[in-house]
């Protein structure tokens, strides 16, 4: 995966137990490929623009391992990805709340999540280092569309 420039960035995205250096096999294993619902955000030319995973955590649709291709950041794709994943989680898990983790120095991600209604909360399931923040949001408006947004595909 060329979206990450080293051990710190891969562990920030994948979690502290993500192996580095990684092989294709260890990368897929560490991201729970085939176990967690995984989604790709594709451009109109079927190019990978974003990625995210979903699972049910404490009754909430939990968004995990969110990433947008470095060359496509700053163009609103993160908002599109998160919004579409929230809709999918609402339908799949019949949930009304969503959660995610974010590093407190990831200003772009924090701004993206706040713009979608995410707010800081206390994680009742686990404690985390001070630089990892837990956020929750309520159900997005159903039927709202992103216009000519990229396609999200379940992998």
- pLDDT recorded at residue 144: 46
- pLDDT recorded at residue 150: 62
Q: Assess whether pLDDT exceeds 80 at residue 82.
A: yes
User: Is 81:41 a contact under the CB 8 Å cutoff?
Assistant: yes
Of 76-90, 102-116, 141-155, where does mean pLDDT reach its minimum? 141-155
As a whole number of angstroms, the distance between CA 133 and CA 131 comes to: 6
- pLDDT recorded at residue 128: 83
Question: What rounded mean pLDDT belongs to the chain?
Answer: 91
Would you kindly state where each structural domain of the chain is located, as residue ranges? 36-148
As a whole number of angstroms, the distance between CA 155 and CA 145 comes to: 22
Q: Which residue has the higher pLDDT, 153 or 26?
A: 26
- pLDDT recorded at residue 145: 47
pLDDT in tens, 4-27: 999 999 999 998 899 999 999 999
User: Is 134:101 a contact under the CB 8 Å cutoff?
Assistant: yes
Locate 106 and state its tokens.
Answer: 């990831």
* CATH architecture of the domain with residue range 36-148: 3-Layer(aba) Sandwich (3.40)
As a whole number of angstroms, the distance between CA 17 and CA 124 comes to: 21
Q: Assess whether pLDDT exceeds 80 at residue 32.
A: yes
């Amino acid at each position: 995966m060329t979206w990450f420039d080293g051990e710190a960035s891969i562990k920030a995205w994948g979690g502290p137990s993500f192996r580095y250096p990684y092989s294709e096999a260890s990368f897929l294993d560490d991201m729970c490929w085939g176990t967690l619902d995984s989604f790709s955000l594709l451009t109109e030319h079927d190019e990978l623009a974003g990625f995210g995973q979903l699972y049910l955590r404490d009754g909430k649709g939990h968004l995990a391992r969110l990433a947008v291709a470095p060359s496509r950041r700053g163009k609103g794709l993160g908002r599109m990805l998160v919004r579409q994943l929230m809709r999918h989680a609402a339908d799949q898990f019949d949930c009304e709340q969503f959660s995610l983790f974010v590093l407190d120095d990831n200003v772009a991600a924090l701004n993206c999540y706040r713009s979608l209604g995410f707010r800081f909360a206390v994680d009742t399931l686990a404690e985390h280092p001070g630089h990892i923040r837990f956020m929750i949001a309520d159900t997005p408006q159903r039927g709202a569309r992103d216009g000519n947004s990229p396609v999200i595909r379940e992998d």
